[in-house]
Each structure stands twice: as structure tokens, then as C-alpha cells.
Structure 1
Amino acid sequence: MKEGGYVKKFRFGFRCILAIFVVVFIVTFQNSVQADSVIDEARYYIENYYVEPVSDNVLNAATIQEMIKQLNDPYSEYFSKQEQQDFVDSIDNKMCGIGVYIQVVKDGVLVNNVISLSPAEKAGIKSGDIILSADGKSLVGLDSTEASSYIKGSEGTSVKLVIKRNDKEFDFTVERKEISVPTVTGKVLNGHTAYIDITSFGEDTSKLFTEELQNLRMQNPDSYIIDLRNNGGGYMSTALDIAGNFVGKQPAITVEDRSGSRVRYLASDKGSIIDKPVIFLTNKNTASASEILSAAVKDYKKAFFVGSTTYGKGVAQQIFGLTDGSYLKLTVEKFFSPMGNTIQKVGISPDFKVDDDNLSLKVAELLSGKCVKTYDKSGYIKANINGTDFEINLNTAKDDSHWTAFKYIIENVDKSKIYIGTDKGWIKAPEEYFNNVYQFLYSDYKILTASNNNEKNKVFTVTFNKNLDSDSLKDNSKFEIIDANTGERVAFDIKKIAGNKINLVPKNNLQSGETYLVRIFGTLRPFSVK
């Protein structure tokens, strides 16, 4: 696969790849270097291709491993043939194993997720299971790389696992198979926002992105969210190709070689660009190819960025194949945004900082809302963030999953730039609203009572201005108990204690000291809530 201008720089055949946190060019050795040993080959490449001149201490080291160590470069490595293949497979989301995502815990490794149709799913392994051992090897105390090395293996082999589930232990024998997980997935959020998640820039990612984009366009979304969180890279050509969907055929990366010469490379011409509002999600693990795409999109102001500053990986590695089948990965170039902005050790900063990954997507969903009415803005608020106006649907903000994200927005945006929607347009948000965020969410605040510093077994007594008929007590949907911090709705029972009084009795203990809201719907009018 040829890679723009890069192919002109070498007389070797190669594939261009961008690994996790690394921009890489793979070069197949073709006897172009006259050397007496593999160590001499490595020495030649280090001396002639490393991004900066190297000292004699590096070149005179006795082994390739020692030369790499002397470079003091976290991105330069020496690979065995198998390690190189694993490296490439990781870019394409390919693995040979049982098909689980794991997390190290005290007892072993927790199964966070089971891949659909994988051997693990077919064997009956479930999310939440804890793998205690693999083929008799305890996984307790191992890091995720070590633990996964015992679970993975050659296709067709089996692994015997001991799994703990609800304090009981079970034995599983699972056959390992090659598993390929799509690097692009998409869906429509809240009925109007197209969400595309790119986990890696693999060989077929551009094709998958195009297919997903076409599918979502048919559903006529109002906006897009592109999720690059925890995306450590992939093929550079894929990043440049996908960039064309946002910036068109314009320079998308600037590369500087060891001599200081700079060249700018174009994004692909896709024929058209996305013409709806776009939000990019990034975090500290958004790196390499993800930063190439992000930098291009941000330089041309084609998206609003939510999340945290990216990893800051702005140097490129080239992989040289050695005659014994091993590989040498060396830093050979630096790269910059199309406008020349530095990425290395700097990264790409968000327009709205949200460090919590569990929160950033929900924030982006709220910022993707839009009031379709021309004058009547009731049911929305408007927030101006970093010069961009966002119209937030309060019905979405009220639900459990978005409540905390809404609070975060209100607490982290300049108060003078937040407006309340009315049937006549926008008005400045009253100062008192910022003391009790739930006032933004409910226009019927007068019939909403906040109860503070609750005990965990709190019972809410509601007194009305008139006696209640029995029908008023049959439908729990006329009442809500809401955790003011998280928006979580509390399950409860209704008990009548007098003609005009009822008790709302939570089914589970409340959080001590937490503030809860009691809301009454419809024509019911409370006199007090205690």
C-alpha cells in the first residue's frame, strides 16, 4: 500500500501503519544494507534514520536491545516476528483468544464485557464474572498484559478457566479462536444525534466509517458525535482518508524529517463534507492517528471538542524488517497539525473540558440538542461555550442518565452566558437558579420541595390543601422522589395517613445527608412536604 509522499523516501517495499500511541512505517528489508550481522543492520538503521543524531554510546552497544535502551525513547522498540504480528493485529482489533474484555481486580480479572458470538459467550461466560485462574495459573496479582497472555493462545487450542460468579466457583473449558471486532460502530442517540465510535484506525476502518456514515445520513441526524476516546492509533492513511469527511481535500498533516524539512499531506477528497454540527470526544489516551485526525479537524474549526487533552504523541516511527525475521521500530520523523501546531508532549486541548470519561459522552449528547421552534424556546436552555451556542433539551437533561452531565455544564459555564428558554425567546438565567440547579429543569418549582440532610430511612409526608380521593393514591406516576445530585428516581410506596396527608415511603434506604426532591404532577397541590 503506497502512502502519499512517504513512498518516495525509501527504496524498500512497505506498509504504513500507526500503532497504539505510535505512528509507524513498516519497511521490508531487501538486502539494501550490506551488513555482516543483524546487529550491524540495526546499527545502520539507527545511525541513518533515527530522528536525531545518536551518540557513540548507542552505536557501540553490544546488543540491539541495549542500543534501543540507550536511545531512551519510549517509542523505539525491538520486535520478534510474533511480537510484530501481534502489534499489527492489535491495530485491526484482531486477537486469538476467547473474546472478553478484562480488568484487573483483587481476586483476579473481571470480565467487563463479552464479545457477541465469541467462544466465551458460547461457553456461558458472562459480564461480571471474575477469572481466578487459566490452565492452573492463578491470575491474582498479575497486570492485565500478563493475565491476558495466559488466556490468549493459538487458534484451536483450549484454556481451562476457574471463574467466580456470585461467590460460587465454576470450571469452564473454552476453545480459542481468532476474533475480529469492528473498529467502527454507530447509532442514533436521543432520536437525532448520529454517534460514531472509532476504536482504532485499522486496515478497513475507512471503509467501515464510510458505510456507517452513509447509514446514519439516511436517518437525517441533526448533529454528529465522533468518539475517539481511548483510540491509540491505526493506519495513518486511514486517518487522512477519514479526515476528508470533515475538512475536504486540504492539508491534514505536516511532517518534519531529521534534516528539518517539512512537507504537508492532503486529506482525501470525499466529494462532500459533513455539514451538520460535529462534536469530537477525546481523552488522555487519544493518540497518534487520532491526534492527526483531531488536529486537522480542529485547525479548520470543523468540530467542537469535549473531553480532556489528548496524549501528545507527535513523532513517527518506522519499522524495519531485519534479515533474521525480527523488526526494529525507530522514531524517524516529527509531525504537526496542518497549520504547524505542535502535538508532541502538548496534545490537542478540548473546547469544553470534561475529564470524567463516564460524563463526557452525556455532556456531548446534551450539547447536541437543538430547539426546532423559531420563537418559542420553552423547554430549552442556551449555553455559550467558547464562542459556540448550544441549545439543551431540558426533557433530556431531566432523565437519570443526563442529570449529572447537566449539572456539570451549569457549574462549568460562565453564568452570564446561560439563558432560559421561554415562549417569547431567550432570557438571562436568574442568579438564584445557580444555587439550585433543579430549578432549571422544572418550571413548576413552587410545587417542588427540596428535603435536605435526609436520614437513610426518611419518609416524606405530603400535606395537601384538600382531602384526597382514593384514585389519587393509586398511581405512583403522579409523584417523584429525585436524588438532587444524580437525578436518580427513587422507588417508593404511597400510604394514606389522613384525609389530606400521605406518606411517600422509599423502598430502599436513602443516602444520608443527600438532598432529595419531591415532585407532584398534575392538578394536585401540596401545602407542605416534610
Structure 2
Amino acid sequence: MKNNSRWLLPLFAMLFVLLPFAASASASAEPLEDIRQLIRNYYVDDVPESVLQQETAQEITKHLDPYSVYMSAKEYQGFVNGIEQRIIGIGVVLKEDVKGIKVTSVIPKGPAERAGIQPGDVITHVEGRGLVGKSVQTAVSWIGGPESTTVSLVLERAGQTKPITMSITREVITMANVESTMLGGNIGYIRLNSFATESATEVNQAIQSLPSAEGWIVDLRNNGGGYITVAQEMTGFFPKAVGAFRIKEKQGKPISYKAIAQPNKFSAPTHLLINAYSASASEMVAAAVKEQKLATLYGQTSYGKGTMQSMFDFTDGSVLKLTTARFYSPGGQAVDKIGVKPDVITEKEAELEVSHHAQLVGKWQGYKAFPKLSKVATTKKFTVEMNAAMNWNNLDKGAVQLIQLGGAESAVTIEVTDDRTLTVTPKKPLVSGESYVLAIHPRWKGNNDHSMKQGIYVDITVK
């Protein structure tokens, strides 16, 4: 499974955060006075009366922080849909590419899959606008749009000389909130896309589905948050977790919240991935994990949204989302406008590769690193030459592993060249632009019946 920086279409607001409760307020045709009083009572900072006396809810909230907003019933449903991973789009996962924006995967049965879009396709134009040099965020905003509307795309596909033009209708898509797989080398990978209602249940199931994992990578990149209790539950997957976070409301002292222990745990060495779009509840978990040394953080400093929102609902279905508290790490470290800095800073979109490599090397204690092979051909064959004559009669082919970083183990064939040399040939071509590691485990014996003393590995990049 190769999954770099991941974006959905359309990209739901990165700042979806916490719904700790929904208090009812009396309503009228214009709940303006109720809104004013709720802000006086609960908004995290004092607000001047001159602001509160504005004539509409929108005019009032625009003077507050960016996360406080008055929503109609329809807008609120869209907000909840985003947290629960119900989105409107075409169903693709994207990353930046020199030729435009590359499709890294396609959502099964979604509009893009039905239209024939394939992983590896590069979107070069949206509605006639070029994507070369544009960010994924820009592509998301151009490709996204209302349900049942269409978007025109131009794509390039490997092996085809002419561009492909197609028009796709946007639809409601329910995304998997928790994704899991076993990466090469028995490293369990779990991605959480939002802190949604059933997230803890689904993560428990994901851990159970990977019983042979010898290490874990938990991915919170681009996760904008969700429900506050889910942050407590997620922290509870780490065996030694005690605290989850602290909350300080407008009035009163900070209150500490403990991690909620889960039936299944990340019981092997664990890495946590974050980036600049990991926000709110993601930062709660990251701050708790880093402070209590529960896992090693990889990536870039997180967004820095250390505030909590509460929902106040009115009888007409409209909702006031209001910032009512700031949160801190269990030990009291601030997050707002600061973010959480990883233990290991990586380049953007390299987080998974770097983490996977570190997990593998951590397992291969005492192995010798050979010089890196750079820009090899996709059809590359590898020659393994021993420094002594070997007994290949009982050749253990499991002693050779070729692992795509961020992905699965690649199947290989092994042929004996002579009593010192083997040829390792991948059964499928290597993926252009990706990185691999070839490991030789010390399971072979020489003609003198002496076993290999040391394993080796070599890092590989494909041109």
C-alpha cells in the first residue's frame, strides 16, 4: 500500500474539530439575542458589546475566531458529514506531480472509477485550467463542487501518447474512515481520516486484523479532527498512556482528561505521522503521545489549532458553533498557534517512507548497510555476491526480501549463478519514482557449514 499525502475530493474543512455536547437554546425566527447571550457566557474570550450589537449572526461571528460560525440546518449537516467522511466529489486520492496532480488511488465504485480513471493517471487540466505547478489544495478546490454537477478533466496516462478528456458527475461518497494494511516487513499501518463516532471501534478491529504486526505506523496526516471523546479513545490505544489532554474554559481552572483504555493496543514499536494539516483532535493525540513518549512522531509541525468548539442548537435546526475552550497537552503545553513538532522532521509526502524504513532498520539490529543504489531501472536485477563459497543445496529463499517503502513486499525469484553469487529478479517491474530496500537475512550457510554472521540491506531508488 503506497499512500503519501492524501487528499479527498472535495476536501472537507481541515478545521472540523470537537463536538463535546450540543446545548439547546430557546429559538425564534431570529435567534440573535440568544446568540449574543451564548457568546457572553461561553466564548473563550471576552467580546466587546459593539461586536455583539451587530445586526446579524454572521456579522457577529466574523469578529470572533475563524472556528466560530452560525450554520443553517443544511450547513450543519454538511459539517457533520465531513467528520463522518461523507463527502461530495469524484472519488480519488491525489498527490502533487511535476506533470500536474497524480491520482494515487481511486475509491471503489465511485464516479472516477466508473469513468475509467486509474491510479497513476496525472490530471493536467480542470475545466481548461492547467495544474502544472499547482498545489493539491488548488486541484481539490477546482475539482470539487456541488452534488450532481459535472467537472471536465484532462489526464495523461503512461503508455498513451494522447491526453484523455472526460467529464465526471460529482456524487456523495462515504469514505472509509479507518484504513489498514500490512506493510512489507510485518509493519501494521492504520490511517485515521477523521475522529468520527465509530473510529475507536474501527481501530480496534484494524488492530485485530493485523495480529502478526511487529511494529505500527499510525497515520494522522491531513486529519482535521473530530469528536473530543475519540481523542481520548485514540490515546488509549497506546499501552502506557495516562493523560489525554487538558481543557480550559472561559471560567475556571484547567481540567485534565485521561486516556480511555482500549481492549487492543499498539503493543510493538509505534510511529505516529502528522503534517501541517493535522489539526485539533489530531494534535491532542500527537501532543499526548509525544509528551508521554508513547510513540515516535514523524512529519512536519502540525497546524496549531488548540481550541475546542461547542455546538448550541436551535429549534429551527440551525447551530452556533462556538469556541468555548483551549486545550493543552496532559502536562500543560500549549498547542494553539504553535502546533506539535515531530521527533523526526521529514520532507513533505516522505513521512510514510521514512517511518517505514526506520521501522525495518529497527528490526534489523546489527545488519550492515551497503551503499545506496540510486535511479535503477524498473527492470533491475540484483546480484548478491558472498565473500565465501556457499552451500545452496537447501537455499532459504525467505532470506531475501525486497520491500517497497510505504508499501508491500515485492515477490522475487532467486537464481544461483555460482557457489558465491545469486541473482534476485523482481517478478513485477519496480515502480518508477519509488524507493525500496533489499534485505539479506543471515539464514544461509557456507560450504564449511558456518552460518552468515551478519545480515545486510541496501536502499534503492527507481528512476
Q: TM-score scaled by structure 2?
A: 0.69
2:59 corresponding residue in structure 1:
66
Asked if 1 retains the 8 angstrom alpha-carbon contact of 2:243 and 2:259, the reply is: yes
Matched, 1:321 2:309: no
Asked if 1 retains the 8 angstrom alpha-carbon contact of 2:93 and 2:106, the reply is: yes
AA paired with 1:147? W
AA paired with 1:25? L
Residues 247, 315 of structure 1: alpha-carbon distance in 2 compared, 3 angstrom cutoff:
farther
Residues 309, 170 of structure 1: alpha-carbon distance in 2 compared, 3 angstrom cutoff:
closer
CA distance in 2, matches of 1:164, 1:327: 41
- Give secondary structure in 2 for the equivalent of 1:130: strand
Residues 103, 362 of structure 1: alpha-carbon distance in 2 compared, 3 angstrom cutoff:
closer
1:207 corresponding residue in structure 2:
201
1:407 corresponding residue in structure 2:
none
CA distance in 1, matches of 2:336, 2:280: 10
- Distance apart, 1:243 and its partner CA: 1.2
Asked if 1 retains the 8 angstrom alpha-carbon contact of 2:215 and 2:359, the reply is: yes
Asked if 2 retains the 8 angstrom alpha-carbon contact of 1:19 and 1:88, the reply is: no
1:79 corresponding residue in structure 2:
71
After superposition, the C-alpha distances for 1:283-318 in whole angstroms (9 at most, x for unaligned) are 121111111111222222111122222211111011
Q: Which has the higher contact order (CA 8 A, sep 6+)?
A: 2
AA paired with 1:61? Q
Asked if 1 retains the 8 angstrom alpha-carbon contact of 2:14 and 2:277, the reply is: no
After superposition, the C-alpha distances for 1:49-102 in whole angstroms (9 at most, x for unaligned) are 11011101211112211111222x121122232222222111122123432345
Q: How many residues align?
A: 373
Asked if 2 retains the 8 angstrom alpha-carbon contact of 1:184 and 1:198, the reply is: yes
CA distance in 1, matches of 2:104, 2:264: 39
After superposition, the C-alpha distances for 1:329-386 in whole angstroms (9 at most, x for unaligned) are 11110111111111112222222222x133222221222135778xxx6534xxxxxx
CA distance in 1, matches of 2:59, 2:163: 48
Matched, 1:358 2:337: no
Residues 66, 487 of structure 1: alpha-carbon distance in 2 compared, 3 angstrom cutoff:
closer
AA paired with 1:258? K
CA distance in 2, matches of 1:284, 1:443: 45
Matched, 1:159 2:153: no
Paired residues for 1:97-176 under 5 Å: 97-101=89-93, 111=103, 113-127=105-119, 128=121, 130=123, 143-144=138-139, 146-150=141-145, 152-153=146-147, 157=148, 159=150, 161=152, 163-165=154-156, 167-172=162-167, 174=169, 176=170
Residues 191, 28 of structure 1: alpha-carbon distance in 2 compared, 3 angstrom cutoff:
closer
2:88 corresponding residue in structure 1:
96
Residue from 280, 286, 290 that aligns with 2:282: 290
2:411 corresponding residue in structure 1:
none
After superposition, the C-alpha distances for 1:214-261 in whole angstroms (9 at most, x for unaligned) are 111x21x22211111221112222221121111567331111110132
- Distance apart, 1:177 and its partner CA: 4.2
CA distance in 2, matches of 1:325, 1:357: 41
Paired residues for 1:459-470 under 5 Å: none
CA distance in 2, matches of 1:256, 1:188: 39
- Distance apart, 1:280 and its partner CA: 1.3
- Distance apart, 1:103 and its partner CA: 7.1
Structure 2, unmatched stretches of 5+, are 1-11, 132-136, 377-384, 388-416, 426-432, 438-459
1:367 corresponding residue in structure 2:
358
Matched, 1:191 2:191: no
CA distance in 1, matches of 2:349, 2:168: 34
Asked if 2 retains the 8 angstrom alpha-carbon contact of 1:22 and 1:315, the reply is: no
Residues 40, 300 of structure 1: alpha-carbon distance in 2 compared, 3 angstrom cutoff:
same
AA paired with 1:352? V
- Give secondary structure in 2 for the equivalent of 1:265: strand
Residue from 32, 35, 38 that aligns with 1:39: 32
Matched, 1:237 2:225: no
- Distance apart, 1:35 and its partner CA: 6.1
CA distance in 2, matches of 1:371, 1:34: 59
Larger-gyration structure (1/2):
1
Matched, 1:51 2:51: no
After superposition, the C-alpha distances for 1:6-60 in whole angstroms (9 at most, x for unaligned) are xxxxxxxxxxxx9733433376564x43767322222122222110111012111
2:340 corresponding residue in structure 1:
348
Asked if 2 retains the 8 angstrom alpha-carbon contact of 1:336 and 1:343, the reply is: yes
CA distance in 2, matches of 1:195, 1:105: 24
After superposition, the C-alpha distances for 1:173-214 in whole angstroms (9 at most, x for unaligned) are 54x543222122222223232221222212221111101111
AA paired with 2:142? A
- Distance apart, 1:324 and its partner CA: 3.8
Asked if 2 retains the 8 angstrom alpha-carbon contact of 1:29 and 1:323, the reply is: no
Residues 124, 349 of structure 1: alpha-carbon distance in 2 compared, 3 angstrom cutoff:
same
Paired residues for 1:443-458 under 5 Å: none
Paired residues for 1:250-289 under 5 Å: 250-271=242-263, 273-289=265-281
Percent identity between matched residues is: 30
Structure 1, unmatched stretches of 5+, are 1-17, 381-393, 403-441, 445-470, 480-484, 490-515, 518-530
Asked if 2 retains the 8 angstrom alpha-carbon contact of 1:248 and 1:268, the reply is: no
After superposition, the C-alpha distances for 1:471-496 in whole angstroms (9 at most, x for unaligned) are 99xx99699xxxxx99899xxxxxxx
- Give secondary structure in 1 for the equivalent of 2:197: coil
- Distance apart, 1:104 and its partner CA: 9.1
After superposition, the C-alpha distances for 1:372-417 in whole angstroms (9 at most, x for unaligned) are 78xxx6534xxxxxxxxxxxxx37x957699xxxxxxxxxxxxxxx
Asked if 2 retains the 8 angstrom alpha-carbon contact of 1:243 and 1:293, the reply is: yes
Residues 278, 257 of structure 1: alpha-carbon distance in 2 compared, 3 angstrom cutoff:
same
CA distance in 2, matches of 1:169, 1:371: 44
- Distance apart, 1:270 and its partner CA: 2.2
Matched, 1:379 2:379: no
Residues 487, 290 of structure 1: alpha-carbon distance in 2 compared, 3 angstrom cutoff:
closer
- Distance apart, 1:164 and its partner CA: 4.4
CA distance in 1, matches of 2:20, 2:267: 36
2:396 corresponding residue in structure 1:
none
- Give secondary structure in 2 for the equivalent of 1:330: strand
RMSD: 4.0
Asked if 2 retains the 8 angstrom alpha-carbon contact of 1:198 and 1:228, the reply is: yes
Asked if 2 retains the 8 angstrom alpha-carbon contact of 1:184 and 1:208, the reply is: yes
AA paired with 2:350? L
Q: TM-score scaled by structure 1?
A: 0.61
Residues 36, 194 of structure 1: alpha-carbon distance in 2 compared, 3 angstrom cutoff:
closer
- Give secondary structure in 2 for the equivalent of 1:298: helix
